[in-house]
Amino acid sequence: MARKASIIGGGVIGGGWAARFLLNGWDVSVFDTDPEAERKIGEVIANARRSLPALYDKALPAEGRLSFHTDLAEAVSGADWVQESVPERLDLKHRVLGALCEAAPATAVIGSSTSGFKPSELNEKGARAVVAHPFNPVYLLPLVELVGAASETDRAAEILRSIGMFPLIVRKEIDAHIADRLLEAVWRESLWLVKDGVATTAEIDEAIRMGFGLRWAQMGLFETYRIAGGEAGMKHFMAQFGPCLQWPWTKLMDVPEFNDDLVDLIAGQSDAQSGHLSIRELERLRDDNLVGMMRALRKSGSGAGGVLKAHEATFAEPKGATLPVTVERQVPTSWTDYNGHMNETHYLEAGAQATDRFMEIIGADAAYVAAGRSYFTVESHVRFLDEVKAGERLRVTTQVLGGEGKKMHLFHRLERGDGALAATVETLLLHMDLTARRSSEPAPDIAAKLAEFTAAHAGLPRPEGAGRHVGQRA
């Protein structure tokens, strides 16, 4: 039975929460009195459907059910998680959280998306909420700052990990928690740089995204500076650059006067910088870039990529096919080319992923490779039969054509989500001794498992296209 999340407030953050839970198999109920709430959240969820599955090499769980409500008690009935995402006004949060604590099940986690309020402030009227502060887009970025009673934050953290997020438990109450205090420092200094005519909004954004923003994405602040210290490490860095902290470089303790002139200056430069794109176009550009960077980090397990790998390891394996399903995933934008469809390289990559998965199925997994044995591809033949576009589902089944001795002969069928055959990849592999770098017989248990598949698939029709050479007529 699916678990249920109730989202209170359907703005940008509330919509992101709804998408994150929904696409991870939870039923989601939304409470919002805005008559446009269903449309707005629907657009956020559409963006999430386009981007979140593209992070993974396995299929996300089947979507839960989405419902909209104008009655608060009805919305939170039976909820396991209730997320308040109303505007950042303490009096409003007091009223909403008080009503939630009365209406929600006693076992439900009640989280507040507040950017700045402390739990003691949120609960001073008798509520029992914890701070669960996410980052936009909630459906892609894993960080959630948790602040509150240890018993509640521990329980909340377990749920958040199950939907692919990274809970960071803040050990001490503090205004604006951790991440927003860091952002506030950069934001404040940036306002001064614009106000004083030193830089435009576009120039400041270039300084971030062309330099330290890339470093921060995979190492954060302190690990980045440790490297800057060279072989002597952090102590050397602190000794070298620490004294400059006393120099009058920044204006962090001063606040520029927040008047109409400053607002008009910032807004005008922002319009000139990005006004040619709609908000939805900017969101999709942001999401595509995040997917690309996070997938790159996934390979090394760094930063958000490590969270993705750990989350995907919990996914159930696909079932129900005559042949084993070795890949079931969504095609990311980074796999497409100037023709608007999946580039030929990635058809082979999908086939390679299917081979790797089949090796895991027969026991030739990471531990087997670490022990010094593996299979190496010696020949592949790809047939391109139909287009596949970004966002489409890709499902690969694998048939064993031969598995005697050192050889493993596989035939992968790549199908689109509508069942159309998009490509086939035929692959011949040899078992290798990684120490001697020579072909060798597989371990007996691997050979036995491969023999089971070979015998089971021997009675199947030989797949059309098997054994073809380049240029051969159909």
- 126 in a known ligand binding site: no
List Cα–Cα distances, 5 to 75, 122, 157, 159, 288, in angstroms. Answer: 9, 20, 15, 11, 27
- 10 in a known ligand binding site: yes
Q: Is 29 exposed, middle or buried (0-12, 13-18, 19+ CB in 10 A)?
A: buried
Three state DSSP letters for the chain: CCCEEEEECCCHHHHHHHHHHHCCCCEEEEECCCCCHHHHHHHHHHHHHHHHHHHCCCCCCCCCCEEEECCHHHHHCCCCEEEECCCCCHHHHHHHHHHHHHHCCCCCEEEECCCCCCHHHHCCCCCCCEEEEECCCCCCCCEEEEECCHHHHHHHHHHHHHCCCEEEECCCCCCCCCHHHHHHHHHHHHHHHHHCCCCCHHHHHHHHHHHHHHHHHHHCCHHHHHHHCHHHHHHHHHHHHHHHHHCCCCCCCCCCCCCHHHHHHHHHHHHHHHCCCCHHHHHHHHHHHHHHHHHHHHHHCCCHHHHHHHHHCCCCCCCCCCCCEEEEEECCHHHECCCCCECHHHHHHHHHHHHHHHHHHCCCCHHHHHCCEEEEEEEEEEEECCCCCCCCEEEEEEEEEECCCCEEEEEEEEEECCCCEEEEEEEEEEEEECCCCEECCCCHHHHHHHHHHHHHHHCCCCCCCCCCCCCCCC
For residues 474 and 464, give the distance between their C-alpha atoms in angstroms, rounded to a whole number: 9
Query: What residues contact residue 38 under an 8 Å CB cut-off, 6+ apart?
Result: 30, 68
Q: Are 390 and 335 in contact (CB under 8 A)?
A: yes
- 459 in a known ligand binding site: no
For helices 304-312 and 279-300, angle between their N-to-C axes, nearest 10 degrees = 80
- 9 in a known ligand binding site: yes
Which sign does the torsion angle of CA 146, 149, 154, 155 carry?
A: negative
* Residue list, annotated binding site for NAD(+): 9-14
* Residue list, annotated binding site: 9-14
